[in-house]
Amino acid sequence: MELENIQIKEVALFPVKLTRDEKKKLKVIKRLINKEFNGTKAAQMLKVTTRQIRNLKRQVLNEGDAGIIHKNRYNKPANTYDEETRVKIAKLYRKEYRGTNFTEFAKIIQNEDGYVQSRSTIYNILREQHIRSPQRKKHKRAKKEDK
């Protein structure tokens, strides 16, 4: 099979937005396709194996620039809690349990309200909603004295 006759497809359903690392990978793979250097050199440049280089090259040839993007990029992780649950927990804290530290709040809603989230998950949800723990340490910066 001759690689000179292969055309790179630029087919995308949506505009491809690449990260800095993906742009670097794409640049190296396109130079590899143009035979500016071999797969071993490309693997060294990207610090990956030659097998990964072959796979990336094949994906770019088949899918265009979007072939560089990780296939799991647009998928939501399976272990995330839906937005509705996150909002309910934050509202519950703001309305009924304001001033309670996060660990106690987690124990209360696990026992009384039947939430199954761990203390650390509840902490993360509250922090995402810009709620600070009443037990947080307040550090005052020392003033500099002029000499």
Mind listing the pLDDT tens digit for each residue in 79-134? 888 888 899 999 999 998 888 888 899 999 989 888 888 889 989 999 988 888 87
Do 134 and 126 meet the contact criterion of CB atoms below 8 Å apart?
no
Do 83 and 99 meet the contact criterion of CB atoms below 8 Å apart?
no
pLDDT per position as a tens digit, 31-83: 999 999 999 999 999 999 999 999 999 999 999 998 999 888 888 888 888 88
Report the pLDDT value the prediction gives residue 61, as an integer from 0 to 100.
94
pLDDT per position as a tens digit, 13-26: 556 788 899 999 99
Other Cβ atoms less than 10 A from the Cβ of 69: the count is: 19
Joined tokens for residue 89: 């927990």
Do 33 and 8 meet the contact criterion of CB atoms below 8 Å apart?
yes
Helices (H) and strands (E) in the chain, counts: 6, 0
Q: Please give the model's pTM, rounded to 2 decimal places.
A: 0.54
